[in-house]
């Protein structure tokens, strides 16, 4: 038996003309029940998550000459709640946001229809996004290459110097790179875009 909250309102979900095995209802709290005859005797659905958002999955049966075709469908619960419990839906506002940034809180008071731009602005203030930005600032930047373009030019000048007396092994040690890396620079496999200016 389904126990409703004191201010919980239920509305039957219209899933099209093809008859389903069960009827479904959604509440302003974002809860969904499946039932046959009486909603109070129905079963509260747990649902599943897609990218952290609860979704309502159901099967739609369509009878044809070849037999019955079963289509698996899904709807985001927050969008379902917003569609059934918001009276004035602006045609330009196609996105539903969670005002409190909690994807699991699908109460109608936590939902709002927005434009794409408003949704993106709202997401920039998400505490998780702000925390990730701060964490990125704290982490040490990737050091990258052992050599920069200027060092490679100097190295190439020494490698291709006709009067060179230093062995390649010693040059590699001087520049802090492996011999293999030095041979790749020499052949142009690595740093081929850097040329020695005469």
- How sure is the predictor about 29, in pLDDT bands with cuts at 50, 70 and 90? very high
**Do 185 and 155 meet the contact criterion of CB atoms below 8 Å apart?**
yes
| Helix H or strand E encompassing 97 | strand 95-98
Q: What is the pLDDT of residues 50-61, one digit of tens each?
A: 999 999 998 888
Q: What is the pLDDT of residues 174-195, one digit of tens each?
A: 999 999 999 999 998 888 888 8
**Do 24 and 13 meet the contact criterion of CB atoms below 8 Å apart?**
yes
Residues recorded for the chain: 198
pLDDT of residue 77: 96
- How sure is the predictor about 2, in pLDDT bands with cuts at 50, 70 and 90? confident
Map tokens 């041979």 to a residue.
183
Residue 117 backbone zone (phi > 0: left; psi -120 to 50: alpha; other: beta): alpha
Query: What is the pTM (predicted TM-score) of this model?
Result: 0.65
**Do 33 and 2 meet the contact criterion of CB atoms below 8 Å apart?**
yes
41 DSSP 8-state letter: G
pLDDT of residue 139: 60
């Amino acid at each position: 038996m389904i126990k409703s909250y004191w201010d919980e309102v239920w509305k039957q979900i219209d899933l099209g003309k093809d008859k389903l095995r069960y009827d479904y209802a959604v509440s302003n709290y974002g809860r969904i029940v499946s039932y046959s005859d009486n909603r109070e005797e129905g079963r509260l659905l747990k649902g599943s998550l897609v990218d952290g958002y609860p979704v309502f999955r159901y099967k739609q049966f369509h009878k044809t000459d070849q037999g019955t075709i079963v289509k698996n469908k899904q709807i985001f619960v927050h969008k379902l709640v917003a569609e059934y419990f918001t009276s004035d839906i602006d045609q330009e506002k196609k996105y539903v946001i969670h005002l409190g940034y909690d994807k699991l809180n699908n109460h109608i008071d936590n939902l709002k229809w927005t434009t794409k731009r408003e949704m993106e602005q709202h997401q920039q203030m998400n505490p998780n996004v702000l925390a990730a930005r701060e964490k990125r600032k704290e982490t040490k930047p990737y050091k990258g290459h052992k050599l920069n373009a200027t060092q490679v030019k100097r190295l190439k000048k020494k490698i291709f110097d006709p009067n060179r007396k230093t062995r390649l092994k010693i040059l590699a040690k001087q520049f802090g790179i492996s011999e293999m890396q030095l041979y790749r620079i020499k052949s142009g496999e690595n740093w081929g875009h850097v040329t020695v200016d005469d």
